[in-house]
Amino acid sequence: MPRDPLLDTIAQTPPATLVDPFQRTIRYLRVSVTDRCDFRCVYCMSEDMTFLPKAEILTLEELDRICRVFVRLGVEKLRLTGGEPLVRRNILWLVESLGQQVQSGALHDLTLTTNGSRLAIHADALAACGVRRVNVSLDTLRPDRFKAITRWGDYGKVMEGVRTAKAAGLAVKINCVALKGVNDDEFHDLVAWCGEQGFDLTFIEVMPLGDIDGDGGGQARVDQFLPLSVVRAELAKRWTLTESDHRTGGPARYVTVAETGQRLGFITPLTHNFCESCNRVRLTCTGTLFMCLGQEDAADLRTPLRRNPNDDGPLIDAIREAITRKPKGHDFVISRRRRDPAVSRHMSVTGG
Ligand code: SAM
Ligand code: SF4
């Protein structure tokens, strides 16, 4: 009997995209591929961290499978982060596999956030896999200060990584966490340096994620917290900042620096003004899906993934159910009265 053409149409129709209860379509997945890191940045980790046991961590094949399912469900942009994504063994295998999704046109953007320590080794391979942009975290241009902030980092290696990435044709964006009394005398220098290098620059406000100093994470962050409104006002004294309508669906707002032509971003996660357009969810290396960076609610994708090695149906159902729970917004607070972190997990778990 001839096959009913309707059945073929149904089989070829991609599953419906992910839309949350507030009519936000999920287009962006950030994946923390490891919680480990070769740095111990003071605002991110304590020096003495306990990392996840290896058995709990998804294999690269499992991460690849989840990412591909998300792409089938309409995700167009994927960012690998961590911890430090480039310390995960064999990570280029995953980048290469996801790069095929870029080549096929299913994925529009495959990017990476890195501390730059291993970029000199991997930049050429990343570019060859289809990565076109990388975000590199750099809070200072002074080697001694870099050591004080990252505890274990090597400034020279990061600079070499940045140079190699640029030479490989990758667009580099610098992320800088604004820290009161630590790097607040360098913001003009960073804008000037990024202008010379042709890099965009984004300043980030310190977020209350995870215990960093053994006191519950409260006091150190209150001391370090610097509102970006202050940073912007200071920068406006020397640079001509023109409003830009560039949007990523995230907490960043952008201006253009007229003197350098580069974009300058301000990530102010403590204000609620970005949640209405939030298009992203975050996957940890254990297969836990966080629907909001600033909330504890999460969904377990590892169980449906491992129980059904040959059937993506249960995984898709679990993702859809999770998206119905995406909250309207977050509840970050940094205050002098509150000493515990608003969210107990570290940024390196969920991925920044
Ligand atoms: N290791 C990579 C790196 O440093 O770029 C990727 C992961 S890191 C968690 C991602 C970003 O989060 C970095 O730009 C880092 O500066 C930022 N970050 C970490 N902890 C933070 C915190 N408590 N508040 C604000 N930003 C933070
Ligand atoms: Fe590592 Fe990035 Fe956290 Fe620094 S910010 S400790 S480099 S994960």
pLDDT in tens, 175-210: 999 999 999 999 999 999 999 999 999 999 987 655
Q: Which ligand is nearest to the CA of 212?
A: 1
Ligand 1 pocket check: which of 177, 231, 271 to mutate, most ligand atoms within 8 Å of Cβ?
177
Q: Is 299 helix (H, G, I), strand (E, B) or coil?
A: strand
Q: Is 83 in the pocket of ligand 2 (CB under 6 A)?
A: yes
Q: What is the mean pLDDT of residues 205-233?
A: 72
What pLDDT is attached to residue 329?
84
d(CA 352, ligand 2 centre) in Å: 9
Look at residue 262 and tell me whether its pLDDT is greater than 60.
Answer: yes
Ligand 1 pocket check: which of 36, 39, 44 to mutate, most ligand atoms within 8 Å of Cβ?
44
Look at residue 336 and tell me whether its pLDDT is greater than 50.
Answer: no
pLDDT-above-70 percentage for the chain: 84
What pLDDT is attached to residue 206?
85
d(CA 41, ligand 2 centre) in Å: 5
What pLDDT is attached to residue 70?
98
Q: With a threshold of 0.85, does the pTM exceed it?
A: yes
Q: What is the mean pLDDT of residues 332-346?
A: 50
- All residues at 6 or more sequence positions from 34 whose CB lies less than 8 Å from its CB, including other chains: 57, 82, 83, 84, 85, 87, 88, 285
Greater model confidence, 269 or 258? 258
Residue bearing the CA closest to ligand 1, atom 5: 114
Confidence of residue 338 (pLDDT cuts 50, 70, 90): very low
Q: What is the mean pLDDT of residues 142-149?
A: 97
Q: Over the chain, what is the mean pLDDT?
A: 89
Q: What does each C-alpha distance from 277 to 22, 26, 298, 331, 335 come to in angstroms?
A: 10, 10, 20, 16, 26
Look at residue 213 and tell me whether its pLDDT is greater than 60.
Answer: no
H-helix or E-strand spanning residue 204:
strand 200-204
Q: What is the mean pLDDT of residues 146-150?
A: 97
What pLDDT is attached to residue 3?
56
- Enumerate residues lining ligand 1, CB below 6 A: 37, 43-44, 81-82, 84, 113-115, 137, 175, 177, 204, 206-207, 209, 347-348, 352
d(CA 322, ligand 2 centre) in Å: 28
Lowest mean pLDDT among 58-72, 190-204, 205-219: 205-219
Q: What is the mean pLDDT of residues 139-158?
A: 97
Measured from the Cβ of residue 280, the count of other Cβ atoms closer than 10 Å reads 21
Q: What is the mean pLDDT of residues 40-52?
A: 91
pLDDT-above-90 percentage for the chain: 71
Which domains are assigned to the chain? 26-350 (3.20.20.70)
d(CA 245, ligand 1 centre) in Å: 25
H-helix or E-strand spanning residue 77:
strand 77-81
What does the pLDDT look like over 273-327, one tens digit per residue? 678 888 999 999 999 999 987 788 999 999 999 999 999 999 999 999 999 999 9
d(CA 174, ligand 2 centre) in Å: 14
What pLDDT is attached to residue 295?
80
Residue bearing the CA closest to ligand 1, atom 10: 352
